[in-house]
């Protein structure tokens, strides 16, 4: 008997604008045990889109190598996220007549689903998701499993997640250049939802807003499954750029000032607090300038409000903004800025909470952070997806030359 069938190794890879992270885990009876992880600053990615294959590949190699060393595993396949401002979803519906003298059969469920998929025209896009949203018998309330129900007709709604094919090919090229194969793929916000949402939120209705470095990804859930995907090309890096321009300081120092003193809204005490700022190109303390914290927040606040206003327009177009039970969960690295929850609640007029990874047991403390919601959600996506494929492993003794070999191979291919 092959006892390793229920104990396999999977690896998730989150390629973002500001960071690349990799997590390796073992799975037994659908329980995930994290073995190793690695992350590093991203290069060659802008607004979630690959703009430099070489730089992006090196960043992937660094993150994967760190995870491999910690886990003492060599991975060959990964579950990868798909992000960027061009992610979108469409819904396709189909229906078939039913036999009046018997209930719905498995064959009829397959027939109506196949009919819906036959209507799909991806129009130059890569289909990332084909998700059955729910079945309806005689246009009644949604049912998850219509088998053995009587009726005159059966219909189904299929959620199709799309991403531009050329952009997807660039992402796959980066993964392939790092000597890895894509086993499965998922939108970032969908993965984050699997990681952060509780079952009641997915059933009653919730939108995950994953605010990354260069992109804010959106995934709405209802009746236990996704119903909408979208994204906007704005994130935490835009806030940092605003600070750098507004205070005429370097990008790196603007990021430091944002993390140390930033807030999404202004309070009266901020008008009294003074902070130090180094002008761009100046590192001498004699040239330091002092500003009120309120000046910094007055730069940050309009951009944060803009992000949630655009998200609100997206949700309004999709019909989810005014749903009474619909709540919002913020996650992603930029969601940790103080005051984000309050501003989101004010702009979107929703109950809002900050989402951290919660649906995997014994998460290492380093990963119990909104920054890692996507990469951990990718593990859950793989384990609970009916079409999952487990990542293969090779020699478990990882030598120190793994990263070097990957990078050398990259440059051999580009010379």
String of DSSP letters for 323-391: -TT-EEEEESGGGGSTTHHHHHHHHHTS-EEE----SSTT--GGG-SGGGHHHHHHHHHHHH-TT--PP
> Phi first, then psi: what are they for 386, rounded to 5°?
-70, -20
Rounded CA-CA distance 390/393 in Å is 9
Q: What is the pLDDT of residues 378-400, one digit of tens each?
A: 999 999 875 333 344 444 444 44
Residue 84 in contact with residue 170, Cβ under 8 Å? no
Residue among 8, 5, 2 at smallest CA distance from 35: 8
112 and 25, same domain (yes or no): no
Rounded CA-CA distance 164/127 in Å is 9
- In the predicted model, what is the mean pLDDT of the chain? 88
Residue 162 in contact with residue 128, Cβ under 8 Å? yes
For the chain, the domain total comes to 3
Q: Give the pLDDT of residue 409.
A: 54
- What CATH number should be reported for the domain holding residue 101? 3.30.1490.110
Query: Confidence band (pLDDT; 50, 70, 90) for 403?
Result: low
Residues with Cβ within 8 Å of residue 148, at least 6 apart in sequence: 103, 104
Residue 297 in contact with residue 266, Cβ under 8 Å? yes
Q: Give the pLDDT of residue 384.
A: 87
36 and 122, same domain (yes or no): no
279 and 328, same domain (yes or no): yes
77 and 179, same domain (yes or no): yes
Residue 185 in contact with residue 80, Cβ under 8 Å? yes
Residue among 188, 183, 189, 186 at smallest CA distance from 9: 183
112 and 260, same domain (yes or no): no
Q: Give the pLDDT of residue 124.
A: 87
For residue 73 the two structure tokens come to 């595993």
Q: What is the pLDDT of residues 313-355, one digit of tens each?
A: 999 998 887 776 789 999 999 999 999 999 999 999 999 999 9
Report how far Cα 293 is from the mean position of its chain's Cα atoms.
Answer: 32
Q: Give the pLDDT of residue 405.
A: 52
276 and 240, same domain (yes or no): yes
What pTM did the predictor assign?
A: 0.89
Report how far Cα 167 is from the mean position of its chain's Cα atoms.
Answer: 16
287 and 344, same domain (yes or no): yes
| Strand ranges, E, within 77-143 | 77-82, 88-97, 125-137
Rounded CA-CA distance 135/130 in Å is 15
CA-based angle 67:69:71, to the nearest 5?
65
343 and 240, same domain (yes or no): yes
254 and 393, same domain (yes or no): no
78 and 170, same domain (yes or no): yes
213 and 297, same domain (yes or no): yes
Query: Confidence band (pLDDT; 50, 70, 90) for 179?
Result: very high
The parent domain of residue 110 ranges over 88-164
- Which of 120-124, 237-241, 251-255, 363-367 has the lowest average pLDDT? 120-124
The three-state DSSP-derived secondary structure of 372-404 is HHHHHHHHHHHHHCCCCCCCCECCCCCCCCHHH
65 and 204, same domain (yes or no): no
- What CATH number should be reported for the domain holding residue 277? 3.30.420.40
């Amino acid at each position: 008997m092959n006892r390793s069938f229920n104990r396999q190794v999977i690896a998730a890879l989150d390629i973002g604008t500001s960071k690349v992270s990799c997590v390796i885990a073992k799975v037994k009876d659908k329980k995930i045990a994290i073995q190793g992880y690695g992350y590093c600053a991203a290069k060659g990615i802008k607004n979630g889109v690959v703009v430099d294959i070489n730089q992006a590949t090196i960043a992937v190699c660094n993150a994967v190598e760190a995870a491999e060393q910690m886990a003492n595993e060599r991975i060959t396949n990964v579950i990868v996220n798909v992000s960027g401002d061009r992610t979108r979803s469409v819904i396709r519906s189909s229906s078939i007549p039913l036999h009046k003298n018997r209930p719905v059969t498995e064959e009829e469920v397959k027939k109506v689903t196949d009919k819906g998929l036959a209507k799909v025209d991806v129009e130059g896009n890569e289909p990332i998701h084909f998700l059955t949203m729910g079945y309806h018998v005689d246009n009644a309330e949604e049912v998850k499993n219509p088998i053995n129900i009587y009726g005159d007709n059966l219909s189904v709604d299929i959620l199709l997640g799309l991403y531009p094919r050329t952009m997807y090919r660039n992402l796959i090229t980066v993964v392939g250049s790092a000597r890895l194969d894509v086993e499965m793929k998922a939108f970032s916000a969908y993965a984050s939802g699997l990681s952060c949402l509780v079952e009641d939120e997915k059933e009653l209705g919730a939108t995950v807003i994953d605010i990354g470095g260069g992109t804010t990804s959106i995934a709405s859930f209802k009746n236990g499954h996704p119903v909408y995907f979208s994204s906007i090309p704005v994130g935490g890096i835009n806030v940092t750029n605003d600070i750098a321009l507004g205070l005429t300081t370097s990008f790196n120092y603007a990021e430091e000032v944002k993390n140390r003193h930033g807030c999404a809204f202004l309070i009266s005490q901020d008008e009294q607090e003074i902070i130090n700022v180094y002008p761009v190109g100046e590192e001498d303390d004699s040239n330091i300038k002092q500003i009120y914290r309120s000046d910094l927040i007055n730069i940050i606040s309009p951009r944060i409000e803009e992000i949630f206003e655009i998200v609100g327009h997206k949700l309004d177009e999709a019909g989810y903004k005014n749903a009474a039970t619909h709540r919002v969960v913020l996650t992603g690295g930029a969601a940790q800025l103080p005051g984000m929850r309050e501003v989101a609640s004010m702009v979107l007029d929703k109950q809002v909470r900050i989402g951290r990874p919660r649906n995997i047991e014994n998460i290492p403390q380093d990963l119990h952070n909104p920054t890692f919601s996507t990469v951990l959600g990718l593990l859950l996506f793989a384990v609970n997806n009916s079409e999952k494929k487990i990542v293969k492993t090779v020699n478990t003794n990882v030598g120190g030359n793994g990263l070097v070999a990957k990078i050398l191979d990259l440059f051999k291919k580009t010379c």
